[in-house]
Amino acid sequence: MSDTTETAALESTPRIEGEERSRVAMTQAALDLLITLVDKHGQLMFHQSGGCCDGSSPMCFPEGDFLTSEADVLLGHFELPIDDAEKAGLDFWMSVEQFEYWKHTHLTIDVVPGRGSGFSVEAPTGNRFIIRSALMDVA
């Protein structure tokens, strides 16, 4: 689907108070897959917990199927262009503990062939979401 040289197709709107720069983006491959998943599942969300195994991958859920709390940080909000007239919102959350490790990085959601987590909605598609990261420019 994509490689490490693919650039971001869509940046999120920052959601951390006081921040003006995006922390999360997605590649065109991720955007294309998400548009088909929204058509099938409705409104979606991402959460990255940093747990073991698949828990360290970004997990995509129908909105409301994963409950967030004060133990989570909303990093960004996407407006997915479903068609010319319709957009679907999508939030990207991360556990507070995991954010401490990733707070200096810009994250890009991408897609690679392979089986995702059984709990993430892309699992049956033969693809899985991954995170590519780069240090944020602090200047």
Neighbour order of strands in the sheet with 59-62:
13-14, 72-81, 87-95, 44-48, 59-62
pLDDT, residue 16, reads 95
pLDDT, residue 51, reads 63
pLDDT, residue 103, reads 93
For the chain, 139 residues long, the average pLDDT of each consecutive 10-residue run is: 65 95 97 96 90 71 95 96 90 94 94 83 93 83
pTM of the prediction?
A: 0.89
CATH of 16-135, one of 2.40.50, 2.60.40, 3.80.10, 2.60.300: 2.60.300
Domain locations along the chain: 16-135
In terms of Cβ atoms closer than 10 Å to its own Cβ (0-12, 13-18, 19+), residue 100 is exposed
pLDDT, residue 5, reads 47
pLDDT, residue 139, reads 53
Q: Quickly list H helices, the chain.
A: 28-41, 96-102
User: For 20-43, how does the pLDDT look when each residue is reduced to its tens digit (9 = 90+)?
Assistant: 999 999 999 999 999 999 999 999
| CA Rg value for the chain | 14
